[in-house]
A and B are shown apart, each in its own frame.
Chain A
């Protein structure tokens, strides 16, 4: 079982560029999440989804967009990248809100 797979693992963007972080899970989880972790900080929720076609904002959604067209995939779109978006991004999934999260291995993003 692959679990939660994120691509790419590393990326450097220039200010103003856009990109999509890919996330796919093979556990048939309805719930999926995007977190960011800044150095020395905890994980902050960006967006989450409770099923295909349903998404909602987390704590820090500004500058990001998501879509959920299938149960398996939950891509995160960065529009007009800014240095403040330099972070490590983690995708996660779970069977339900109260169940443990399964995380991907992360994407290290630098915006220069």
Chain B
């Protein structure tokens, strides 16, 4: 049962344009969402996060939008740069209390930004 879904395996955009990466989730208990970026032969690196009490969070060129009613979040990159070419993972967590850890990753979307 895939609780975090990234339905687009890949996305190609032109340099300078907007990149929009989408993520859907099924577990309504998820209350904290993160995006990670991964280059080949490297580990994922944290990009941006959002709590369920917000609907938008910005960090420079990166903005994450959360639509709780639709159980959908998206990552916008504006303007896109060739160095943004990487696999982007959406992840979601639920606060189960105590030491019960629960973080679920999507399968990832390969973004290619063409010069």
Write the residues of chain A forming the contact surface with B, with a CB cutoff of 8 angstroms: 4, 31, 33, 40-45, 48, 50, 54, 56, 58, 90, 92, 97-98, 100-106
Which residues does chain A contribute within 8 Å of B36, judged by CB atoms? 101
Measured CB to CB, the closest approach of chain B to A25, in angstroms, equals 12
Give the CA-CA distance A54 to B100 in the complex, in Å: 12
In the complex formed, the residue of A with least CB distance to B89 is A42
Q: How large is the interface on B (under 10, 10 to 19, 20 to 34, 35 or more residues)?
A: 20 to 34
Q: Given the interface contacts A50-B99, A103-B43, does A97 sit within 8 Å of B93 by beta carbon?
A: yes
Nearest first, the 5 closest Cβ-Cβ pairs linking A and B are A103-B43, A42-B105, A100-B46, A43-B105, A42-B107
Main secondary structure of the interface of A (DSSP, over half): strand
16 additional contacts (CB under 8 A) given A33-B101, A98-B93 = A4-B43, A40-B9, A42-B4, A42-B89, A42-B105, A43-B44, A50-B99, A90-B43, A92-B43, A100-B46, A103-B44, A103-B45, A104-B43, A106-B41, A106-B42, A106-B43
Contact with A along B24-67 (1 / 0, CB 8 A): 00000000101010000111111001000000000000000000
Write the residues of chain B forming the contact surface with A, with a CB cutoff of 8 angstroms: 4, 9, 32, 34, 36, 41-46, 49, 89, 93, 95, 99, 101, 103-108
Are B49 and A100 in contact (CB-based, < 8 A)?
A: yes
Are A105 and B49 in contact (CB-based, < 8 A)?
A: no
Which residues does chain B contribute within 8 Å of A54, judged by CB atoms? 99
Are B108 and A42 in contact (CB-based, < 8 A)?
A: yes
In the complex formed, the residue of A with least CB distance to B96 is A97
